[in-house]
Each structure stands twice: as structure tokens, then as C-alpha cells.
């Protein structure tokens, strides 16, 4: 059998370094992939909806231009500016500290209406108006234009800020717009003076909105009710409040313009869109209360991924797959818990997908490698045993490789040795090609007989065969299977000889030895060359029994240990006692049996042997002579007739029925 392929061995230190750098490179490189940031921000969405929202604290109210307002006013959108002038005056009268219009007044109305609105702005002295940047795709690229309020409104004291917001690629609003002229900063500037607030420093790049809760989060009053002076509204309903006026409606047809609604992290669960005016109010409150969510610094993320890469690399080198999986799960839970605490208590957002990918990738890679090793092991087992054992045994070993003890284990085996009598003389008379043909015919049938009884062929030694049972797969009936295989080999030899005769080749004569006993079995040898084999005294005894056949004229010798191991299966066979022998190098006598292939003579064979062992040699001589006369080819009867003729009529006083073999 070919030796196993040698693997390239990398020193442990280099393996650790390569694993560490590879895992760390994956963690650092993933955020650079297109679309990864969008995927990562789903973690921010999950935190937004699971962490209890902080709620509102600032005195902010919304005045909604909604469907009800359109009905009350009785006019389609856009309203005449005189109506907005009335709204400003009403809000001032109700105590509004700052009045914010999340509406762009860039198109002139009638002179009278615009003048009325400008005068109201001047009287209030606390109005903030929205502007917009418009991006328009043209054949020459993207054209950016501005939509600003009419200059006369600014001249009357209105502050102006750009109300544009930046949505992510999945059209969810997460980022807080930041620049000096942004809308929410203009709103804050109007609020800071009367409220005595300190200026807000520039936000950290990439700052995200801490949603105060699912919409609606602010008290909202219909603009129509304010304009009508509805009795349900106290005269000081907006005392000290920042009041934001904006569109809060689903009726785009009524407004005659696009929706001013935005998807948020809450939208996926509730389906509700958030009005832009509410988002502008949330921007201000985030900045004033320092609720803005800041991503953990990239350098700190790299440091975290370096630590995870270190732990994962150590685990991959030192732990098995199950502990690695448990460790990976523990890291994932720890990352999730850390992200939750940082978000809830410190307004820090820790993107965890890239760090989490490190232990997950390590576990998946290790699991995949384990599967690969398992397949390699199965292929190696199949390669190793397919020539020795039946396919069914190979399949069992592939399914349960733990049954193979690499390096050897001690098991009880039933061992078989077979040899061809006088084969050297036969081979000398044949050409090499004829010898090969003869052996191939012989080995094929003998292998089939062994495999049919679940045996393992250890090796072919010239014309000899070594086989055993109960390894590598367990076989409780190994002795019975071995005897059945030997019987099959003896009976099958006649068919082999018939084919050989048809090919013009000489017939063969075979001897078999069977013994059951303890032996060391396994992959024995060196790393470069090994063999699955069995060693021990039991192996030697089985080999000697094969040779002992020639002293008894038998073709099969079965040891007493094998016969005793047959148990309930003994009824399948007719065992003919042969002798009790003490082979060279052994002190204990071995009972020998052979198979009786002629059932009608079995009782006579037992009687003859019983007379011999009991010392009734006269009767034994007569009975063996009768057996020989009935079957002149009975080699065992020939042996005993010759032996008894050389013995006296009475056995010696120390007769124990044991024959000592001086030769191997």
C-alpha cells in the first residue's frame, strides 16, 4: 500500500502569525467593501428600536399643515402668504419663543400677501425660514441649485438655514446634517439667546441621530386650529416653546408637491414615516442635550479587531471545534452587549458586524477544515482497507473511524493462514505468465470466500494468505465467520482447479491453519511506510498450524481456542478432532480439529479418536483402518493407521493423549 502523502508543516509561531494577520486583515478590510456600511448600519437601526428611547425634554411643539388644516382653511396648497402672516401673529400671541417654518418660500405671491408676511416676520423677530439645495441630473452631470426664501423676508429679520437631509442608500435617515448654515443650527441660534444656551461645537464627522422615539414624539397641533383660535388651545399654549411649522400629511395631491416624509429605523416595524419637521426638531434636541450618537473611532475599532484576531488565532491553534464554537458565540454575545451598553449609556455606536466576522470566520473556517479533514480521513480509510476487507466493512469504518486504533491495540482475533502445498515445484514447471494466471485465479476465489465472511486480508505472501477477523470492525462471531470462510475456501478450490485444468494448468492443493487468541492489531510500521497487520503469539500459532497439516494429511487445522469460541454457532459445523499437540516453543498442548465434510462418517470419526485418546489403541487401530478402507483419500485416517501400527497395544502409564511436535 502506498504511504500517506506528507503534509507541509508550518512552525506553530508562523501559523499563529499568519492566522492573526489574516483574520485582522479581514476585519479591517470588510468595511471597505461596497455596501458594507449600509449593512453595518442595520446594527444602528436595531439598537435604535431596542434601546429605550430618551424621549423629549425641550419645550418644542409642532404646528402641522395637515389634512385637517386644509379643510379648515378651505384652500389648496400653497396657501396665500397672508395666512402664514396670521399664523405668525397667532403664535407670537400664544408665547412662541422661536417660530420655524420648514417650508421654502422661494416663489413670489401677490405683493399684498408677501408684504403681510414680511411685516409679520418683522413684528415677531424670531422667525427661521428654510432653504434648499436642489440636485438635478442633466446630460452634463449633476446641476446643484438653491431655493432660498424671498430676499424681503430675510431683510425683515428672518434667519435662513438649509433644510436638506442626507439619507443612506437604503433611503433611511440616520445622519445629522452638519455645516454652519444648516437649518437646525439656525434654529438653535434663535433659541440660544433667549434661553441662555452655550454655542454648540461642530459635531463629530459621521454623527448619527439619536431618535427620541417612534413618531410622533412632539406635541402636535393642527395649523387650522391655531389660525381659528380654537377654544381647546390655551392662550399661552406655546409659552416659551420653539414652534416648528411644517407639512404633516399623507395627501400629496392636496399639497401639490412631494411627500415630506422619511423612513427611519422604526419604519420597518411600524410602517410609519416620520415628517421632516419632526426630524428637524430632533436634530436641535440631539445637539442641545448632547444625545448625538457618535461612531466609535476607527482606530479603536481596529484595536478591537486586533484583540479578537489574537484570541481567535489562539483558539484555532489550541482548541477543538466545539470549544471554538462556544467561544465564538460568547464573543458575539459580548459584542452585542457592549454595543448595547455603549449606545444606551454613552451615545456611542460600535459597528459589530466586522468584529463579529472574525470569530465567525474562524469558526466556519475551522469547521470547514474539520469537514475537509474528515473527508480526507474517510478517503484514506477507504484507500487503506478497500483491498483488505469487504465493502460493507469499509463503509462501517468510514462511518466510525474511531474503531481504528492508529498505532495498534490488543484485541481477540481469529487468524487464518493458508498456503499451497508443493507450490515451489509447480511454479518451477511454469512460465512467469502462467504462474501469475494461476495465482490470480486462486487468490480471487479465496479472497471472495474471506470477504463473504467479513474477514480482513492482511497480506499475500507469495502463494500464502494471511487474514483475520474482529478487526478493524468488531465482529462478535469472528470465530464462526473464520471457520465458514475456511470451509468456503476448501470447497471453492475445486472450482479453481476446474478452471485451471481448462487453461492447461496444474491443480492446486491447499493447507489452512485457524487460531483464536489475543494479538496486537493496527497500523504498524514507520511514518513513511506502514501496514495494517496483526502481531503476537496467536499469529505465530495460526501460521504453525497451517504447516502442521502436512503431518496429519489434513487441509485444515482449527485450534481448540477457535472451536471453543464458536459458542452457539458450533452447530453449523461438524468438527472432527485431530489431536492434542504441543508445538515447538510452546508448553501448553493445543487441541486440533478439522472439518468433517462427509456428515455420514462423523460419528465413526469421533469414536475412533475417542478410543485413541482413552488408550484403547487396539480398538482405535481397527476403527481408523475401517475409515481408511471406506475412504482411501482420508489423510487423517492414514496418519493414525500408520501411527498406531508403530505403537504397542497398550499406552504407557503416563499417557496424556498429547503429541509433541519437534519441528515447526
pLDDT for 466-497, tens place per residue? 999 998 889 999 999 999 999 999 999 999 99
CA distance 392 to 397: 9
DSSP 312-331: HHHHHHHS-HHHHHHHHHHH
More reliable by pLDDT, 399 or 135: 135
pLDDT at 576: 96
Helix 602-614, helix 617-630: angle, nearest 10: 150
DSSP bridge partners of 101: 129, 245
pLDDT at 400: 62
Domain match, 313 and 351 both: yes
Domain boundary among 257, 290, 323: 290
Statement: residue 4 has pLDDT above 50: no
DSSP 246-266: EE--S-HHHHTS---EEB-TT
HSE, CB side, 13 Å, CA atoms: give it for residue 310.
Answer: 6
pLDDT at 256: 40
Domain match, 603 and 590 both: no
pLDDT at 257: 44
Q: What is the CATH number of the domain that holds 423?
A: 3.30.70.1230
If one counts every other C-beta atom within 10 angstroms of the C-beta of residue 490, the result is 18
More reliable by pLDDT, 366 or 149: 149
- Residue 1: inside a domain, yes or no? no
- Residue 3: inside a domain, yes or no? no
Q: Would you put residue 429 in left (φ > 0), alpha (ψ -120 to 50) or beta?
A: alpha
Cell (9 digits) for 54? 430618551
pLDDT at 208: 96
pTM of the model: 0.61
- Residue 413: inside a domain, yes or no? yes
Domain boundary among 273, 290, 307: 290
Q: How many separate domains does the chain show?
A: 4
If one counts every other C-beta atom within 10 angstroms of the C-beta of residue 3, the result is 11
**By percentage, how much of the chain surpasses pLDDT 70?**
90
CA distance 22 to 365: 12
Domain match, 304 and 434 both: no
Band of residue 263 on the pLDDT scale cut at 50, 70, 90: very high
Statement: residue 321 has pLDDT above 70: yes
- Residue 477: inside a domain, yes or no? yes
Which residues have CB under 8 Å from 599's CB, separation 6+?
574
Instruction: Name the DSSP letter for residue 464.
Output: E
Which residues have CB under 8 Å from 546's CB, separation 6+?
417, 418, 419, 464, 511, 512, 513, 557
Instruction: Name the DSSP letter for residue 196.
Output: T
Domain match, 588 and 603 both: no
pLDDT for 353-377, tens place per residue? 999 999 998 888 888 877 777 777 6
pLDDT for 189-208, tens place per residue? 998 888 778 889 999 999 99
Domain match, 603 and 581 both: no
- Residue 502: inside a domain, yes or no? yes
Domain match, 314 and 245 both: no
pLDDT at 523: 76
Beta strands at 127-138 and 98-101: parallel, antiparallel or unpaired: parallel
pLDDT at 193: 80
Statement: residue 525 has pLDDT above 90: no
Domain match, 75 and 128 both: yes
pLDDT at 390: 55
- Residue 385: inside a domain, yes or no? no
Domain match, 305 and 283 both: no
Q: Dihedral of CA 311/368/41/142: which sign?
A: positive
Band of residue 381 on the pLDDT scale cut at 50, 70, 90: low
Q: How far is CA 112 from CA 82, 133, 150, 456, in A?
A: 8, 28, 14, 109
Domain that holds residue 659: 598-664
Statement: residue 556 has pLDDT above 50: yes
Domain match, 539 and 606 both: no
Provide the mean pLDDT of the chain: 88
Domain match, 552 and 608 both: no
pLDDT at 379: 73
3-state secondary structure of 469: strand
Statement: residue 587 has pLDDT above 90: no
- Residue 111: inside a domain, yes or no? yes
- Residue 277: inside a domain, yes or no? yes
User: Which range, of 4-13, 54-63, 320-329, 410-419, averages the lowest pLDDT?
Assistant: 4-13
Domain boundary among 551, 567, 595: 595
**By percentage, how much of the chain surpasses pLDDT 90?**
66
Band of residue 388 on the pLDDT scale cut at 50, 70, 90: low
pLDDT at 406: 55
Domain match, 537 and 622 both: no
pLDDT at 214: 94
Let me know: does 399 contact 374? Beta carbons within 8 Å: no
Domain match, 102 and 144 both: yes
Amino acid at each position: 500500500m502506498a504511504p500517506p502523502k506528507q503534509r507541509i508543516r508550518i512552525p506553530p509561531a508562523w501559523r499563529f502569525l499568519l492566522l492573526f494577520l489574516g483574520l485582522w486583515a479581514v476585519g479591517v478590510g470588510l468595511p471597505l467593501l461596497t455596501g458594507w456600511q449600509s449593512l453595518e448600519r442595520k446594527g444602528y437601526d436595531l439598537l435604535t428600536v431596542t434601546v429605550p428611547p430618551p424621549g423629549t425634554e425641550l419645550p418644542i411643539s409642532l404646528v402641522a399643515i395637515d389634512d385637517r388644516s386644509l379643510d379648515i382653511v378651505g384652500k389648496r396648497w400653497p396657501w396665500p402668504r397672508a395666512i402664514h402672516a396670521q399664523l405668525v401673529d397667532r403664535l407670537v400671541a400664544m408665547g412662541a419663543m422661536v417660530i420655524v417654518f420648514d417650508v421654502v418660500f422661494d416663489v413670489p405671491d401677490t405683493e399684498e400677501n408677501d408684504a403681510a408676511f414680511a411685516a409679520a416676520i418683522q413684528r415677531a423677530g424670531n422667525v427661521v425660514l428654510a432653504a434648499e439645495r436642489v440636485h438635478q441630473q442633466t446630460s452634463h452631470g449633476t446641476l446643484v441649485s438653491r431655493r432660498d426664501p424671498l430676499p424681503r423676508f430675510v431683510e425683515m429679520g428672518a434667519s435662513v438655514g438649509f433644510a436638506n437631509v442626507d439619507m443612506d442608500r437604503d433611503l433611511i435617515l440616520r445622519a445629522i446634517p452638519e455645516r454652519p448654515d444648516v437649518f437646525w443650527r439656525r434654529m438653535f441660534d434663535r433659541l440660544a439667546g433667549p434661553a441662555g444656551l452655550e454655542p454648540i461645537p461642530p459635531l463629530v464627522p459621521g454623527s448619527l441621530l439619536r431618535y427620541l422615539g417612534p413618531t410622533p414624539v412632539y406635541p402636535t397641533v393642527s395649523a387650522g386650529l391655531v389660525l381659528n383660535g380654537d377654544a381647546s388651545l390655551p392662550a399661552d399654549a406655546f409659552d416659551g416653546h420653539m414652534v416648528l411649522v411644517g407639512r404633516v400629511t399623507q395627501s400629496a395631491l392636496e399639497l401639490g408637491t412631494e411627500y415630506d416624509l422619511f423612513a427611519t429605523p422604526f419604519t420597518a416595524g411600524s410602517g410609519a414615516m416620520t415628517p421632516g419637521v419632526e426630524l428637524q426638531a430632533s436634530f436641535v434636541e440631539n445637539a442641545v442635550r448632547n444625545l448625538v450618537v457618535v461612531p466609535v473611532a476607527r482606530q479603536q475599532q481596529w484595536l478591537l479587531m486586533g484583540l479578537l484576531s489574537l484570541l481567535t488565532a489562539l483558539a484555532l491553534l489550541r482548541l477543538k471545534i466545539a470549544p471554538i464554537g462556544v467561544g465564538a458565540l460568547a464573543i458575539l454575545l459580548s459584542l452585542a452587549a457592549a454595543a448595547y451598553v455603549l449606545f444606551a449609556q454613552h451615545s456611542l455606536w460600535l459597528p459589530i458586524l466586522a468584529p463579529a466576522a472574525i470569530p465567525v470566520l474562524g469558526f466556519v473556517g475551522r469547521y470547514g477544515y474539520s469537514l475537509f479533514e474528515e473527508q480526507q480521513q474517510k478517503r484514506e480509510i477507504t484507500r487503506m482497507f478497500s483491498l483488505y476487507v469487504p465493502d460493507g466493512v469499509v463503509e462501517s469504518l468510514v462511518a466510525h473511524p474511531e474503531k481504528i486504533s492508529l498505532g495498534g491495540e490488543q484485541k481477540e482475533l481469529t487468524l487464518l493462514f493458508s498456503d499451497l502445498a508443493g507450490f515451489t515445484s509447480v511454479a518451477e514447471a511454469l512460465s512467469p505468465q502462467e504462474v501469475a494466471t494461476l495465482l490470480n485465479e486462486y487468490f480471487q476465489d479465496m479472497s471472495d470466500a474471506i470477504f463473504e465472511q467479513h474477514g480482513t486480508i492482511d497480506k499475500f505472501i507469495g502463494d500464502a494468505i494471511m487474514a483475520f477477523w474482529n478487526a478493524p470492525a468488531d465482529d462478535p462471531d469472528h470465530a464462526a465467520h473464520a471457520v465458514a470462510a475456511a470451509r468456503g475456501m476448501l470447497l471453492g478450490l475445486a472450482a479453481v482447479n476446474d478452471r485451471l485444468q481448462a487453461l492447461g494448468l496444474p491443480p492446486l492443493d491447499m493447507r489452512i491453519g485457524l487460531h483464536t487468541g489475543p494479538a496486537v492489531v493496527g497500523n504498524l510500521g514507520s511514518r513513511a511506510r506502514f501496514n495494517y497487520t496483526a502481531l503476537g503469539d496467536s499469529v505465530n500459532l495460526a501460521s504453525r498450524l497451517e504447516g502442521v497439516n502436512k503431518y496429519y494429511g489434513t487441509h485444515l487445522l482449527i485450534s481448540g481456542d477457535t472451536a471453543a469460541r464458536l459458542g452457539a454457532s458450533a452447530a453449523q459445523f461438524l468438527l472432527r478432532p485431530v489431536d492434542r499437540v504441543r508445538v515447538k516453543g510452546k508448553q501448553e498442548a493445543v487441541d486440533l480439529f478439522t472439518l468433517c465434510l462427509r456428515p455420514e462418517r462423523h460419528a465413526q470419526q469421533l469414536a475412533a479418536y475417542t478410543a485413541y485418546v482413552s488408550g484403547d489403541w487396539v480398538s482405535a487401530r481397527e476403527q481408523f483402518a475401517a475409515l481408511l478402507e471406506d475412504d482411501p483419500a482420508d489423510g487423517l485416517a492414514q496418519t493414525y493407521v500408520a501411527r498406531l501400527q508403530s505403537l504397542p497395544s497398550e499406552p504407557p502409564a503416563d499417557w496424556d493423549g498429547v503429541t509433541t511436535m519437534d519441528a515447526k
